[in-house]
Every structure is written in structure tokens, then in C-alpha cells.
Amino acid sequence: MLLRTTALLLGALILFPACSSDRSYPEKGDADYDLKAMALSVGELPPGFEEQQLGEVEFDNAAWAEFYGVDDVEAKQAQLDAQKRVRSRVSTFQPAQLGKLFRISAISTLYENPQSASDSVTKFACGLPIDDKEPLSPFSVPKIGQQANGFFVDNETESGLRLIDTTICFRTGRIVHSIQQTGLPGTEDVALAVRLAEKMNEHVNAFFDGRTEAATPKPKAKP
């Protein structure tokens, strides 16, 4: 599975949302949101991480429903449609050598409107493909974007290996962005997740401002 997470829908769970930003994000047409421009690059990850080439990186509801591991995929897709989810883009990074931290994933998910995106943050585990029956452990997060939440997920692989997911998600208009670390117990690094989320938010702001952050400055002409 692309994203190893198990948690429940957040409807009955109290999270610790951060204060909203004064920044606004004007709505655009679905095709006008460049989720790739908002993604993290491998140079922004801790030393030793490499980006994984996964083939497809953008997922509609039919493809995203497959990641939930449910028997009735069509019913899960119908739930995603009802949540007004449009599409997601995923970037996944892993260390070159096996360590306690297995993976860092960055996901941007576009919704039909800001309210649906807000509901995803507070009710639907930020739109991540997770189990509906396992509890989340929320933690407080700083102000990122217009709305932010954070939570830990304690889960177990089929081989019995215990893993911890550390997730921070934040909203910018119609989009929910998530940073997720997966590793052994004791590798929870909220500070790292916050730094990556803030860097991702810089990319988002650059996109909405019409700036290209990674543009290389032109060399000055010689006199």
C-alpha cells in the first residue's frame, strides 16, 4: 500500500486545530490548480532521503479508493465522491539506507469547495486512505495555512511490526496538504513535520502569487 496508515474518521474526535491564517486563497478551476508546483522536493527532506518513483502520482477517487484496502471499493469511491474530493497528488521519500524512519509522504488533495476541504481536516482524517476503526492521538500544531491539525496513528503491519505515523495537515482554500512520517516507535518528530508543512505552505503561496520559487537567477551580464 502506498500510504501505511490506520485510523478512524475524525467526526467524534476532538483535535487541536491551529488558528487560521489571514492569507486568502482565491478559487480557481479544477484544472488550474498545479499540485506539482506545491509539492516538496527531495532537497527539502533530511539528508539521506531519496524520492521514490511510483509511476502515477495523481489519483482520482476511483484510484484513491483502492488504497483503503476495503472489499467494496465502489462504495468507498462513492463516499469520496460524497465528500466532494476531486484528486490528490502524492510525493513519497525514503532513506537510502534502512533506518528507524521508513518513509515521509507529502499529499495535496483538491476538493470541490473550501467547506468540503475543511470537513476533510476535521472529520475525514485529512482525506488520507486510512482504516475507519483505529483511534487517532491528536497533538497541537502551529498556525499553517488557513486551518491545521496533527495526529499520531499507532498501527501494525501484517508481519507484526509496530509502526507510528506522525501526520500534520493544513488547508489552503480548496486544498488539504498532508505531511506524514512513518517509522518505528520513538521516531515521532513533530518538529520535522512542522518544518516540512511550513515549507510546503511556502510553495503553495508561491503558486498563488504567481512566483516560481525554484527559478534559477539569471547571471548578471559582464560589463
Kindly calculate the radius of gyration of the chain based on its CA atoms and give it in whole angstroms.
17
Q: What is the pLDDT along the chain (223 residues), one digit of tens a residue?
A: 444 333 333 333 334 444 445 789 999 999 999 999 999 999 999 999 999 976 679 999 999 999 998 999 999 999 999 999 999 999 999 998 877 889 999 999 999 999 999 999 999 999 999 877 778 899 999 999 999 999 999 888 888 899 999 999 999 999 999 999 999 999 999 999 999 999 999 999 999 999 865 443 444 444 4
Q: What is the pLDDT of residue 133?
A: 73
Backbone phi and psi for residue 25, each to the nearest 5 degrees, phi listed first: -130, 95
**Architecture of the CATH domain 30-208:** 3-Layer(aba) Sandwich (3.40)
Cα 85 from Cα 33, distance rounded (Å): 14
pTM: 0.85
